[in-house]
Amino acid sequence: MSTLFTPTKVGELLLKHRVVGAPMTRLRSEPNDAPSDMMAEWYGQRASEGGLQIAESSSVSAAGRAYLGAPGLYADEQIAGWKKVTDAVHAKGGYLIAQVYDPGRVGHVENNGGAAPAGPSVLPFDSHVVTADGLVDGTPDRAYETAEIPGVIELFRQAAVRAREAGFDGIELHGANGYLVDQFLQDGTNQRTDEYGGSLENRARFVLETLNALISVWGSQRVGLRVSPSGEWGDISDSDPERTFGYLAEQLNPLQLAYLHVIEPRIKGDDWLHEGQEPVASAFLRKTFTGPIIAAGGFDREGADGILGRGEADLVAFGRWFASNPDLPVRLQKGLPLAAYDRQYFWGGTELGYTDYPVYGG
């Protein structure tokens, strides 16, 4: 039997297989950033007995909304919508992890109640966000004052409390894709001279303090972290990413997190990772990080078997193919054909191209 379909444990969760539903921003929340009923249907369709999904990223602040239509966990009014989502997943025996983030310097005043986006440092970069006018350039950002940072971390803690109340099974800190946590960590975006900038120890301080805030609510075995050492989105960069992320992995070990979620570099276009085009990020982080690793980044069945077989990851997250195949674990296990996805329905819209994909033979 393929390792992909063997049981495993992630923190306190006992999983029946290792096919993970990756977090995918689909921009179909209600106007108050609460999940819509069709979001609950979508997650429920993709739930499986003993299977794990990671929910799309939720903003921890009304002043941190980079994409209009994305959900939030910054207000109590959003809890009920998320409860419908978690109930739909649990009804099928599945698990759902919340993902929380702040876009940092990536943002727009129209989405943020007039507030300027804020990050670790003010540096030139290209930014694209979604407002009522569609995909537009972001607006100029500002740098956080040192005294503001504990308040930002407190917003993550408060979102973690709401996630518990909404019935999630754990929480993931979004430290990838050039958003706030990533911006503090990497030296291409962090040029601060206070205790949150400069040395590796200082640049890692924000992510570690934020993780500890989440752990204070959930306990370490229900908390994960997502990173993208090879990411370039939002003009993110680092002079020595292997050293930076290797150091971070060392600091994570004493925390005993449920998992580390690693985004691999995407192969050109829609090609999947497969033998001969092997991932690299999980391999070097495995040398240091001692907990479970979830690998993501365009895998097919062959590539997933490969990275699990080499021991570089313990689970594999699938995104785009979960979008068009609600029964993806079954199709992968049985070698059934996969339904094609349609990018025009990825971000925003109705049920069309969202909840209308049938299970195989349906």
Residue 128 has a pLDDT of 85
Question: Known catalytic residue: 247?
Answer: no
| pLDDT per position as a tens digit, 284-328 | 999 999 999 999 988 989 999 999 999 999 999 999 999 999 999
Burial of residue 62 (number of CB atoms within 10 Å: 0-12, 13-18, 19+): middle
Residue 266 has a pLDDT of 61
Angle value at C-alpha 14, between 11 and 16, nearest 5 degrees: 135
Q: Which amino acid is at 95?
A: Y
Residue 343 has a pLDDT of 92
Residue 268 has a pLDDT of 42
- 64: tokens are 């941190």
Residue 59 has a pLDDT of 98
Residue 279 has a pLDDT of 67
Under 8 Å between Cβ of 13 and 170: yes
Chain centroid to Cα 78, Å, comes to 19
Whether 352 shows a pLDDT value over 60: the answer reads yes
High-pLDDT (> 90) share of the chain, %? 85
Extended strands (E) in the chain: 8-10, 13-15, 19-21, 52-59, 95-101, 118-119, 128-131, 134-137, 142-143, 170-174, 223-227, 259-263, 293-296, 315-318
Q: Which amino acid is at 91?
A: A
- For 151-155, 280-284, 314-318, 327-331, which range has the lowest pLDDT when averaged over its residues? 280-284
- Give CA–CA dist 47/72, Å, rounded: 21
Q: Which of 179, 247, 341, 357 is the catalytic position?
A: 179
- Give CA–CA dist 73/83, Å, rounded: 12
Residue 298 has a pLDDT of 85
| Mean pLDDT score of the chain | 94
Across-strand partners of 323?
A: none
Q: Band the pLDDT of 126: cuts 50, 70, 90.
A: confident
